[in-house]
């Protein structure tokens, strides 16, 4: 299972591109970074992506979705219809608003006819098989709702989890416990962060509580060391083996 960080920065710091992560070059979690540009640097074609998961609707996690859909619809590579776009309840309506407001009804219609996206609404406890992955959703606490953390499990039973944006809460801990590798936001270093975000001491607590899980910290205002975790940067790529006790 391969994890590629496309965007490792928080919303406004410029420490890295906004949140976006690739799994195996075919599943995209969040859509903030200029995905249609950065996937090329990761040797992935935009049309290789078969699943898009949105954790929540904040701009730094979602506003590049129209560019991804447009790149699929109008790029040189032939697109396979049926791209799955999954996220909290309201994802389809949200995507339509972004496309219509950003590009107009004509472009929306062309994307619908060429890409033929399939929208899936997820909520706390959802357990779906999407594009070859078992996707489980966990409600988390953030400043806007609904917000979800995810775990993606492949055919070999390896699991990567994603916090999205979240405070410490039961849903976040369930996602960490199920993951071989967990991508956790760490928006603050020196103290709690307003708006429903994690900071260094909270992430360090998760690392101690779940020693069998490998941690990648992202959504960063700046890069510092955090004991027991990998500090993300844009285009970081990691191969994730199953945890030692799996099997």
Please state the three-class secondary structure of the chain as a single string.
CEEEEEECECCCCCCCCCCEEEECCCEEECCCCCHHHHHHHCCCCHHHCCEEECCCCCHHHHCCHHHHHHHHHHCCCCCCCCCEEEEECCHHHHHHHHHHHHHCHHHHHHHHHHHCCEEEEECCCCEEEECCEEEEEEECCCCCCCCEEEEEECCCCCEEEECCCCCCCHHHHHHHHCCCEEEEECCECCCCCCCCCCEHHHHHHHHHHCCCCEEEEECECCCCCCCCEEECCCCCEEECCCCCCCC
Per mean pLDDT, which range of 87-91, 112-116, 193-197 is the poorest?
193-197
pLDDT score recorded for residue 77: 86
Tell me the pLDDT tens digit for each residue of 114-154. Answer: 999 999 999 999 999 999 999 999 999 998 779 999 999 99
* pLDDT > 70 fraction of the chain, expressed in percent and rounded: 98
Cα separation, 86 vs 130, in Å, equals 9
For the entire predicted model, the pTM comes to: 0.96
pLDDT score recorded for residue 243: 64
Tell me the pLDDT tens digit for each residue of 205-227. Answer: 999 999 999 999 999 999 999 99
Cα separation, 132 vs 109, in Å, equals 28
Q: Which domains does the chain have, with CATH numbers?
A: 2-239 (3.60.15.10)
């Amino acid at each position: 299972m391969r994890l590629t960080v496309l965007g490792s920065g928080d919303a406004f710091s410029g420490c890295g591109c906004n949140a976006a992560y690739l799994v195996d070059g075919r599943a995209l979690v969040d859509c903030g970074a200029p995905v249609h540009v950065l996937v090329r640097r990761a040797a992935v074609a935009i049309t290789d992506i078969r699943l898009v998961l949105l954790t929540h609707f904040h701009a730094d996690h979602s506003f590049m979705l129209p560019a991804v859909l447009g790149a699929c619809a109008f790029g040189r590579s032939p697109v396979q219809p049926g791209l799955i776009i999954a996220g909290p309840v309201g994802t389809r309506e949200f995507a339509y608003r972004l496309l219509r407001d950003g590009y107009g009804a004509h472009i929306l219609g062309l994307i619908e006819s060429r890409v033929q996206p399939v929208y899936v609404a997820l909520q706390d406890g959802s357990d779906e098989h999407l594009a070859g992955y078992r996707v489980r959703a966990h409600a988390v606490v953030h400043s806007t709702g609904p917000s979800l953390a995810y775990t993606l499990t492949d055919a070999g039973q390896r699991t990567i989890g994603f916090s999205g944006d979240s405070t410490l809460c039961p849903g976040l801990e369930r996602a960490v416990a199920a993951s071989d590798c967990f991508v956790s936001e760490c928006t603050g270093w020196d103290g709690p962060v307003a708006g429903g975000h994690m900071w260094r001491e909270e992430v360090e607590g998760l690392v101690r509580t779940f020693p069998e899980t490998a941690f990648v910290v992202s959504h960063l205002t700046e890069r510092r060391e955090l004991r027991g975790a990998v500090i993300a940067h844009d285009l970081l790529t990691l191969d994730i083996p199953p945890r030692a006790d799996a099997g």
